Amino acid sequence: MRGGERPHCGLAGYRPEPDEYAIRNPFLREVMDLVGDAMRSGRDPAVCLREERASLVERFAFSVPTIGVLRRVAACSPIVELGAGSGYWAMCLSECGAVVDAFDISPPGDGNPWDIAAANRWFRDEWYPVEQGDETTGSLYPERSLLLCWPPPDSPMAFRALSRYLEAGGERAVFIGDAGASGDPSFHGLLTSLRSDVRMRIPGWPGLDEELVICRR
């Protein structure tokens, strides 16, 4: 553990930094309110978070941004994010001063709202402008850092995105998620082949081992 860093804890035991809410981050506020309510009522905060995770993910994002993680990722600006979902992480990063272009194969609200197959199955609301883009889009921005936050599990999407980005001359990749539940073995093998600048556990959902990985050639 580096000097000045606090020991890792999951969201159920996370203590927000003094300046945590200097940026707009309603997702973290709601999570911390849930934890506080659970403790005051004598319930297990981890159980409460598990119960509410699905509805919160649908409204915000798969991973809960905290200020320490956001600042590390924002330091990689400018950023191109693929699989950006609702754009929540992109919004928080922009609040931290990062320049972010966000893309998703099915941006929120994209397509006929009555056609379930055409809409984003996870996110209906948009927190930040998310443009339509696929796994090849990162190769159009090799001068930027590539951000993949909870890419789909058992899918070649993340591997193809990172491969094409590197082939185009991209230099730095950022991954946020649980390696056992997001991306596939090919993606994580390719990520591991790069030089790791940052590899750290981050405050995550109970039962998940979320981490931040920042790699470069």
Give pLDDT tens digits for 166-214: 999 999 999 999 999 999 999 999 999 999 999 999 999 999 999 999 9
Which of the two residues, 124 and 128, has the higher pLDDT score?
Answer: 128
79 close to 98: Cβ distance less than 8 angstroms: yes
Confidence at 117, pLDDT banded by 50, 70, 90: very low
**Lowest-pLDDT range of 8-17, 72-81, 171-180, 198-207:** 8-17
Confidence (pLDDT) at 124? 57
Confidence (pLDDT) at 210? 97
Confidence at 125, pLDDT banded by 50, 70, 90: confident
Cα 184 to Cα 98: distance, rounded to the nearest angstrom: 28
Confidence (pLDDT) at 3? 33
Mean predicted lDDT score pLDDT of the chain: 90
Confidence (pLDDT) at 49? 97
Confidence (pLDDT) at 108? 85
Taking Cα atoms as reference points, which of 26, 144, 24, 146 lies closest to residue 95?
Answer: 24
Does pTM surpass 0.85? Answer: yes
87 close to 112: Cβ distance less than 8 angstroms: no
Confidence (pLDDT) at 198? 97
Instruction: Inform me whether the pLDDT recorded for 86 exceeds 80.
Output: yes
For residue 113, CA distances in Å to 26, 110, 132, 208 come to 26, 8, 16, 32
Which of the two residues, 18 and 119, has the higher pLDDT score?
Answer: 18
Give percent of the chain above pLDDT 90.
86
**Lowest-pLDDT range of 14-23, 89-98, 117-126, 134-143:** 117-126
